[in-house]
Copies of this chain bind each other. A is one copy, B any other.
Amino acid sequence: MFLDDLRAAVDASVIVTDPDVLAAHSRDEADLCESGQPLVLVRPKNTADVSMAVKVAAEHGVPVVPQGARTGLAGGANAVDGCMLLSTAAMNEIREIDPVNRLAVVQPGVVNAEISRAAAKHGLRYAPDPGSFESSTIGGNVATNAGGMCCVKYGVTDGYVLGLQVVLANGEVMRCGRRTAKGVAGYDLTRLFTGSEGTLGVITEITVRLTPIPRQALTLAAVFPSTTAAGRAVTAITAAGAQPSLLELIDQVHLKAIEDHRPMGLDTEAAAMLLAACDTGIESDLAEIERLCEESGATEVYRATDAAEAEALLAARRLAYPAMEKLGTIIVDDIAVPRDRLAEALDGVAAASRRNGVTIGVIAHAGDGNLHPNIVVDGQDPSSVVAGRTAFDEIMELALALGGTCSGEHGVGLLKRDWLAEEADAVNMRVHRAVKDALDPAGILNPGKVLRARREIV
């Protein structure tokens, strides 16, 4: 009945019920999050079909789970039983690049990096650069308010979303935001939908802010005998007022995994490596960071001599996930702590690793205090999984105890919804619920993500 109505309402070629395809689309990259059995997958090519599909789902009370490239790391795109998966991956047109107003209008299925490539001929880029920037879609980036490496200087996705077209829970199409550089008329609905992980609406078009391509970055790698010393360097760099365009930490577990995955001469004896870059065009800015690394105990500081060397250093960082995946099933954590608690956070993660007998490697957008403790478990061994989950929870507790957050950039999804409820106060959670109920009274949009579904609470 629902499927009949759906077929009557949208282009039949975008409706998929093949069980293999459904299974392949039933989850994102959060390995240990549960996923349900979808009823159907819809891959619309335009907003009208998204609107119609949601309208039909709403009429039948069928849950709607929006999806992009399913590169998410918190289970936000995972199927719930009986749902309609609504993939916007096929809506992948760059509609407009406007160099004078420095904006692009894109469909949600456009891959992040494609926007910068299209803007480059105008000397512009789309700044936020999640690790998945060559595979994740802008729709998912906006839905999760994705971060990345350049965010330490340039901020995360929400700083680059000017306007949205959104399909609401009843299928209505709304526009919010603007094409102007500034604008404060009305509530900031654009930011309300950004990061709402498909629980308030389905994003069908995005107007993003483009910014001038910065000057060529000068890049260094500094090697530290302890993670504490590396953490100290980060604090010193921040306290000195430096503004690196990148400040990443790679710990020994990751250095070894990367070197095993693709040998590139990394110092696998080092406790941690910091990567730092400055794109101010002023050489002394990087020299100051170099000095602060040395004063904080770096045993070696290596400056990239050209862009190719700098890119090679970043490539090592980008290999962190694929390299770690060779070690086992990874539970990806994503805490952020106040920058001056970084060293404590690193110590606490090491303690959680020892206590639970699981390997935990840490990579960090260190300049933002955003750590990814990556917990390695044997997915086939229940006791290993339990140990990993215990470590995960301990790290969450640690983050909150240090005044931090359960999600620096990956979002809440399924993985952290109970931790969100710990982090936010009770009044705040009631406001969350009031907003959700106001915009999705029947609770059909991505139910159980970010907030527990009503039926789970009762």
**Residues of chain A whose beta carbon lies under 8 Å from any beta carbon of chain B:** 98-102, 123-124, 144-145, 147, 151-152, 155-156, 158-159, 168, 172-176, 178-189, 191-192, 194-196, 200, 212-213, 235, 238-239, 241-243, 280-282, 336-340, 365, 367-370, 403-412, 416, 419-420, 423-425, 427-428, 431-432, 434-435, 437-439, 450
29 contacts between A and B (CB under 8 A): A98-B338, A100-B340, A101-B340, A147-B184, A172-B427, A173-B427, A174-B431, A175-B425, A181-B369, A182-B336, A182-B370, A182-B405, A182-B409, A183-B404, A183-B407, A184-B410, A184-B411, A185-B405, A185-B423, A186-B412, A186-B423, A186-B424, A186-B432, A187-B450, A188-B194, A431-B439, A434-B438, A434-B439, A435-B435
CA gap between A389 and B101 in the complex, in Å: 30
Q: Out of B172, B184, B239, B427, which one reaches A100, CB within 8 Å?
A: B239
In the complex, residue of chain B having the shortest beta-carbon distance to the beta carbon of A335: B180
* Total copies of the chain: 2
Write the nearest CB–CB distance from A257 to chain B, whole angstroms: 24
Write the nearest CB–CB distance from A204 to chain B, whole angstroms: 13
Write the nearest CB–CB distance from A74 to chain B, whole angstroms: 10
Q: Out of B176, B213, B338, B439, which one reaches A180, CB within 8 Å?
A: B338
Q: Out of B100, B123, B178, B185, which one reaches A339, CB within 8 Å?
A: B100
Let me know if A412 and B239 touch, CB within 8 A: no
Let me know if A182 and B427 touch, CB within 8 A: no
CA gap between A213 and B179 in the complex, in Å: 29
Let me know if A183 and B432 touch, CB within 8 A: no
